[in-house]
């Protein structure tokens, strides 16, 4: 399953005109295996063990490219942008529980906006974010 996600992501990149590189594959593989939100610094530290001298700017640029292609989801935790691999197949609208200790995420397949829409009659909602932060069962 992990290999399939990696191959799908590489195919999406190729379809959008991005060249295949071992570094890009390594970034995607790292994110798929982590399966949680990680910082650009986390990715950089991993990549620097695999590819000595890789620049932080290169990592950040690649993460932003992957986000633009909708291969990554992002969130802001503790004032820092974090990245998480998202499945390449159609992903329904969802939200997350995020463990504040280990970073593990769980998808929540309901949206509280249904409740708020009733209270905001006449307003035009342009977007929203909803995340639940806490400790997962392993970190309690």
From first to last of the 140 residues of the chain, give the pLDDT tens digit.
678 889 999 999 999 999 999 999 999 999 999 988 999 999 999 999 999 999 999 999 999 999 999 999 898 888 889 999 986 445 567 788 988 888 888 888 888 887 887 788 888 888 888 889 999 999 99
Q: Is 139 annotated as a binding residue?
A: yes
Say whether pTM exceeds 0.85: no
The residues spanned by each domain of the chain are 2-85, 95-134
Q: Is 140 annotated as a binding residue?
A: no
Q: Is 111 annotated as a binding residue?
A: no
pLDDT of residue 47: 97
Q: Is 102 annotated as a binding residue?
A: yes
Tell which residue, 59, 63, 57, 55, has the closest CA to residue 86: 63
Report domain 2-85's class.
mainly alpha
DSSP string, 90-110: ---S-EEEEETTT-BEEEE--
Q: Is 128 annotated as a binding residue?
A: yes
Sign of CA dihedral 81, 87, 93, 97: negative
Q: Is 99 annotated as a binding residue?
A: yes
pLDDT of residue 138: 94
pLDDT of residue 91: 56
pLDDT of residue 52: 94
Sign of CA dihedral 88, 9, 37, 128: negative
Q: Are 88 and 12 in contact (CB under 8 A)?
A: yes
Ramachandran bin of 53, using left for φ above 0, alpha for ψ from -120 to 50, beta for the remaining angles: left
Q: Residue 7 has which token pair?
A: 């191959």
């Amino acid at each position: 399953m992990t290999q399939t996600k990696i191959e799908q992501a590489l195919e999406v990149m190729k379809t959008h005109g991005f060249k295949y590189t071992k570094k890009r594959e390594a970034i995607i593989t790292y994110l798929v295996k982590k399966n949680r939100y990680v910082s650009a610094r986390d990715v950089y530290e991993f990549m620097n063990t695999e590819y000595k001298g890789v620049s932080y700017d290169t990592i950040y640029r690649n993460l932003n490219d992957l986000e633009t292609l909708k291969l990554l989801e992002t969130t802001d935790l503790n004032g820092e942008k974090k990245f998480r691999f998202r499945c390449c197949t159609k992903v329904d609208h969802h939200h997350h529980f995020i463990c504040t200790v280990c970073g593990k995420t769980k998808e929540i397949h309901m949206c509280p906006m249904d409740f708020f829409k009733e209270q905001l009659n006449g307003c035009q909602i342009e977007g929203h974010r909803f995340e639940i932060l806490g400790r997962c069962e392993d970190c309690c």
